Amino acid sequence: MNYKKTTLKNGLRIITAPMKDTNTATVVVMVGVGSRYETEKEAGLSHFIEHMFFKGTERRPNTLAIAEELDSIGGEFNAFTSKDRTGYYAKTDAKHIETALDVVSDMYLNSKMEAVEIEKEKGTILQELNMYEDNPMRTVGDLFEQMLYPKNFLGRDIVGYKKTIEAFKRKNFLDYMQRFYVANDTVVCVAGKFDEKKIISLVKKYFLQMSVGEKPQFKKVVEAQKNPEVKIKFKKTDQTHFILGNRAYHEKHPDRFAVSLLSIILGGNMSSRLFIEVRERRGLAYYVRTGGDSYDDCGYLATQAGVEHKNLEEAVKVILQEYKKIATEEVSQKDLQRAKDYIKGKSVMGFESSDEVAMFFIDQEIKRNKVLTIAEIFAKIDKVTVSDISRVAGDIFNEKSINLAIIGPHKNEKKIKNLLKLNQ
């Protein structure tokens, strides 16, 4: 998969990734700012801005005008906000990519941010907040990060608080965008079937006048955990949802490929250790999966599951046993190779889709300012050894940095905390 990087005079980066064996194309515009860049009074503003970009521009005065134009060509379009970036995208039949680029660029650069629409959208976002509250399977992830980063904005929910959402005024949006939506922290990626020279010319036309600013800074996480931690959100649910895991590595760490393989072996697919042990052999959960997240300054590796209330303790014990086992006993060469082949297979299948390719390139550029090709990533994965897995597992799965977040009808925090002993 070939790609080309073009940097404009204002610092805006363009990534183009032509794909000859597809009839689709995807455009993504991403800015390297998300909820962790907000002050306490701005909590939820990144996410709110994402919503407002669909509310109209001078050329496309309202939501209907934007949606109709993309719907009329069968396009898929949406946006997302994370802790450290915000993205806007559209995927279309390749022959309509110029229309998609025009619409997404117009939204990104020319949103009206009308006060009356901001007030309307507050109700929508408050309902989104309520929807998440009613979904403990999703919310337990927020609870886990709150526990890991309690004194840092990284631990705050992306959607913000009811009080901040209700208090936002138009000036808050304009000030935030002026500070953070700058050319030198924006990347445009187009992947799929298109005329590369023409697309680059169009991106230059749209974005060359975008202003330059200071690359945003954030408060870094200080990792200082010394004992296992438990956080329980008491809720009368039909099922207990929990996440159990440890602090791990930041997103540029050289061992990040070993962490990815470790997560696959533990709970990344239907032949993984935890899927077999927790679900198939013991019938404790319908879903159980291991994964993690990483940021510029920190990261974690954890297992999530939903269990019957009475089975929480047993499920936690089983997961801890598997953590201890992989940290003290070498995995087989066969298991490691299976995990490598799994990652490669999933990656290759993803690369048949223009939206997956676009996200692959733009995520790397926005987060690391450096793009590795799929061949370079596979080479790094191939270099991971059995001893690397043992070393990394031993480093990550230590008792002092283990954390358990629970949503369900539980109150005995002390009893549950006594379970978190990897050395027993």
| Catalytic machinery residues | 50
- In this structure, the strands spanning 186-192 and 13-18 are parallel
- Which residue spans within 237-334 are E strands per DSSP? 240-247, 285-294, 299-307
Instruction: Please give the biggest Cα pair distance in the chain.
Output: 66
- Which residue spans within 19-128 are E strands per DSSP? 24-31, 76-81, 86-93
Residues 93 and 70: their CA atoms lie apart, in Å, by 11
The secondary structure of the chain in percent helix, strand, coil, rounded to multiples of 5, reads: 50, 20, 30
Instruction: Please say whether the beta carbons of 359 and 90 come within 8 A.
Output: no
Torsions phi, psi for 189 (to 5 deg): -125, 135
Q: How many residues does the chain have?
A: 424
Residues 401 and 246: their CA atoms lie apart, in Å, by 5
Residue 140 to residues 18, 62, 147, Cα–Cα distance (Å): 39, 35, 11
Q: How far does CA 213 lie from the centroid of its chain? A: 25
Residues 150 and 295: their CA atoms lie apart, in Å, by 16
Residue 241 to residues 132, 172, 291, 317, Cα–Cα distance (Å): 14, 36, 15, 15
C-alpha closest to that of 417 among 146, 149, 232: 232
Q: Is 331 helix (H, G, I), strand (E, B) or coil?
A: coil
Residues 295 and 152: their CA atoms lie apart, in Å, by 13
Which positions ≥6 away from 16 have C-beta within 8 Å?
3, 4, 6, 189, 190, 191, 194, 196, 199, 200
- The label of the residue with tokens 């919310």 reads 139
The number of C-alpha atoms within 13 Å of 11 and in the hemisphere containing its C-beta is 15
- The label of the residue with tokens 């629970």 reads 406
Rg (CA), the chain: 23
Residues 140 and 137: their CA atoms lie apart, in Å, by 6
C-alpha closest to that of 37 among 137, 182, 148, 231: 182
